[in-house]
Structure 1
Amino acid sequence: MSDPATNVIAFKPRTASPIQAHPKSLLERIYTAGSLALPADDTATKTAALMLQALGFLVIEEILADGTPQRLTRGQARSAMDRPWRLSKPAFSGEIGVPDGSGSAQRPA
């Protein structure tokens, strides 16, 4: 008789991924703080942010190498997953830079 096959491979168990925040709590954190910085490798939060951006609940800005933010549109955000992001709440007026509520700044001309 021949030896039994020894082609059994032991797989390492997956490490439990950290509990991901629900998009509602993500919105609460952004709306409370005004903005939230995300590191380049936080793909779970970025994926939730893409959904919330598509619904119009937040603004995504890519942080460039020189530290300046660049606003990303819905189509651009998916291609910028390898850069740090800043998530901000949109202005009620629909214009970036115009304060929310009863702020004192004037609308840009």
Structure 2
Amino acid sequence: MDSILSDVTLVSSSQPWEFSSDLEVDYGTDEYAHMVYSALDVDKELQPDKVKRQMSVSEGKLIVHFEAVEARFLRASYSSFLDILTLATKTLEEFGPGLKF
């Protein structure tokens, strides 16, 4: 991985989705970012009424936006996602043709 950027924001309390966080991982090419996206997209949130996750790929980067109704749900979702993101990235590094991030 070239870089990981993260940002956690507290949104106005008048909205039900008070907590949000953005994650950006640079894979260098759209192809590699799409491979990781495809691997992670099948793993849906277990509590979609409490946590939302939106993913996209742009300019070789996997971009993920989280929103949650409570900080603890955001933390749990974000932490679990980082675990599977790390696994997907290590798998790509191990089995991809000459890849190192």
The bucket for the TM-score relative to the shorter chain is: under 0.3
Instruction: Kindly indicate whether structure 1 or structure 2 has the higher relative contact order, using CA contacts under 8 Å at least 6 residues apart.
Output: 2
TM value normalised by structure 2: 0.23
Higher helix share: 2
Considering fraction of residues, name the structure with more strand: 2
Structure of higher CA gyration radius: 1
